[in-house]
C-alpha cells in the first residue's frame, strides 16, 4: 500500500505539467473597432454598417480555437492551424476548451486551457476566436461570452455553413488579416432573453443571449398551445398553434425560414416574429424594429403547456401564465467577414440555400447566362 501511495505522489507533478492554463496570461488587448469608410459611392451605404479591426500598439495576445466535436478532418485542421500560429506568431497564446485540450495535450503541448470551471477567463483573456465547424460551432461561441464577444473568424467545416464565409484552406491569409489589423467586421445582432413566472418573478438563470432565435413550442404535448404575443406591452395577437419564433436577421435562415419567415440581410437591424403551424391562416410572419420588446406568454386558459428554446437549446417548461421577454442585446457578435458583403451574401443564398431555383430543361441554365454555382 505504501509503495502504491508513493507512486501516486510521484505521478502527480508529471500529470500537472501539461495542464497549462490561462491563469498567468495577461488581460486581453482591447481592439479598436471603427466604422469602415466606403471606397466608392456604390459601397458607401454598406460600408457605413461594417467595421474595421485594429490592434493599437501591439498584436493580439490570445486566440481561442473552437472546434466541431468528433470529426477527424476538423481535428487535423485544428492541429495545422495551431502549429502554424505557434510557428509564425510564438508570442500569441493558443487556448482550447478543456475537453479539446485533453484530447490534444500530447500533440499540441504549447496550447492552454481555462482553469476548471472558471468560464470568466474567456472574457478576460481572449482577443479573438477561431471556429472550425458548422453554424452550430459558431453559435457555441455566443454561449461562452455573456456580454462583449471578441471578434470571431469562422471557417466552414460543417454541413451547411451559411454563417461562415471562409474556407479553411485559406486560413493563413485570413488569420494574417486579423492579427495584422486589416480585417473587416460584420456586427451580427443578438437578442436578450428573460423568463418570468406567472407572478412576474425573473427566472434564476437571469438574462441569456440569443444569436438565432427564441421559441415557445408545444414540444411533446399533444394539444396546441395558446400564446399571447405582446409588442412593447401592447397585445399584438393571441395564437393557437405549435408555437411562435422570435428571431434575428442571422436566425432568419434557421428555424424561422422553415416556418415560412423571411430571409433578412444581416445589416437590417430588425426582429422577426414567425408563427409555427398556426391554426389561423392569417397569422403571417412580421418584421419589427430592433428596438421592440416582445413578450410571449402561455395563455392562462391554454390546454397545453409549452417549452422555451434558445438557439435549439431547451430552456425549460413554461406553465400557464408564464412568459418570456425578448429585446435587443447591447452585445452583438463581431464577425470577420468578406470585404464585399453584398456579393458574398448573394452568392451564399444562391449556392447554399438554392434561392429561387426553378424547374428547367436539361439544356437550360436555371440562372440564364449567370449561374452562381459556376463561380
Which residue in 188, 304, 309 sits closest to 255, CA to CA?
309
Contact by Cβ (8 Å): 287, 270: yes
Which residue in 283, 279, 273, 274 sits closest to 240, CA to CA?
279
The whole-angstrom separation of Cα 47 and Cα 40 is 10
Is 242 one of the catalytic residues?
Answer: no
Q: What totals of helices (H) and strands (E) does the chain contain, helices first?
A: 9, 20
Q: How many CB atoms lie within 10 A of CB 26?
A: 11
The whole-angstrom separation of Cα 82 and Cα 247 is 35
Half-sphere exposure of 63 (CA within 13 A, CB side): 27
Q: Residue 117 class from Cβ within 10 Å (0-12 exposed, 13-18 middle, 19+ buried)?
A: exposed
Residue 324 φ then ψ, to 5°: -125, 150
Take residue 345 and report the three cell numbers written for it.
451574401
H-type alpha helices, 48-97 = 72-88
Write the DSSP assignment of 96-151 as a string of letters: E-HHHHHHHTTT-TT-BBPPTT-THHHHHH-SEEEEEESHHHHHHHHHH-SS----
Q: Residue 265 class from Cβ within 10 Å (0-12 exposed, 13-18 middle, 19+ buried)?
A: middle
Contact by Cβ (8 Å): 210, 146: no
- From 44, 48, 71, 135, active-site residue: 135
The whole-angstrom separation of Cα 121 and Cα 366 is 51
Q: Which residues are catalytic?
A: 135
Amino acid at each position: 500500500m505504501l509503495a502504491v501511495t508513493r507512486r501516486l505522489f510521484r505521478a502527480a507533478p508529471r500529470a500537472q505539467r501539461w495542464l497549462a492554463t490561462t491563469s498567468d496570461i495577461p488581460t486581453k488587448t482591447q481592439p479598436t473597432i471603427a466604422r469602415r469608410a466606403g471606397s466608392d459611392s456604390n459601397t458607401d451605404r454598406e460600408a457605413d454598417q461594417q467595421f474595421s479591426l485594429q490592434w493599437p500598439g501591439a498584436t493580439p495576445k490570445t486566440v481561442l480555437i473552437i472546434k466541431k466535436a468528433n470529426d477527424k478532418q476538423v481535428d487535423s485542421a485544428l492541429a495545422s492551424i495551431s502549429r502554424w500560429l505557434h510557428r509564425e506568431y510564438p508570442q500569441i497564446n493558443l487556448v482550447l476548451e478543456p475537453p479539446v485540450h485533453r484530447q490534444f495535450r500530447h500533440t499540441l503541448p504549447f496550447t492552454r486551457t481555462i482553469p476548471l470551471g472558471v468560464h470568466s477567463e474567456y472574457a478576460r483573456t481572449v482577443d479573438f476566436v477561431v471556429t472550425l465547424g458548422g453554424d452550430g460551432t459558431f453559435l457555441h461561441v455566443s454561449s461562452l461570452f455573456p456580454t462583449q464577444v471578441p471578434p470571431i473568424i469562422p471557417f466552414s467545416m460543417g454541413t451547411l455553413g451559411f454563417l461562415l464565409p471562409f474556407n479553411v484552406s485559406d486560413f493563413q491569409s485570413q488569420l494574417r488579416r486579423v492579427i495584422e489589423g486589416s480585417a473587416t467586421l460584420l456586427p451580427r445582432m443578438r437578442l436578450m432573453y428573460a423568463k418570468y413566472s406567472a407572478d412576474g418573478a425573473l427566472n434564476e438563470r437571469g438574462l441569456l443571449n440569443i444569436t438565432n432565435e427564441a421559441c415557445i413550442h408545444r414540444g411533446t404535448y399533444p394539444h396546441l398551445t395558446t400564446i399571447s404575443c405582446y409588442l412593447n406591452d401592447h397585445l399584438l395577437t393571441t395564437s393557437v398553434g405549435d408555437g411562435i419564433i422570435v428571431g434575428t436577421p442571422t436566425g432568419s435562415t434557421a428555424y424561422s425560414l422553415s416556418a415560412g419567415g423571411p430571409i433578412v440581410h444581416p445589416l437590417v437591424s430588425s426582429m422577426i416574429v414567425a408563427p409555427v403551424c398556426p391554426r389561423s391562416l392569417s397569422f403571417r410572419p412580421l418584421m419589427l424594429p430592433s428596438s421592440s420588446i416582445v413578450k410571449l406568454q402561455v395563455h392562462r386558459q391554454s390546454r397545453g403547456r409549452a417549452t422555451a428554446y434558445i438557439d435549439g437549446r431547451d430552456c425549460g417548461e413554461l406553465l400557464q401564465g408564464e412568459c418570456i421577454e425578448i429585446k435587443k442585446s447591447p452585445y452583438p457578435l463581431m464577425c470577420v467577414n468578406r470585404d464585399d458583403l453584398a456579393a458574398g451574401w448573394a452568392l451564399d443564398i444562391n449556392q447554399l440555400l438554392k434561392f429561387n431555383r426553378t424547374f428547367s430543361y436539361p439544356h437550360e441554365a436555371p440562372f440564364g447566362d449567370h449561374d452562381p454555382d459556376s463561380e
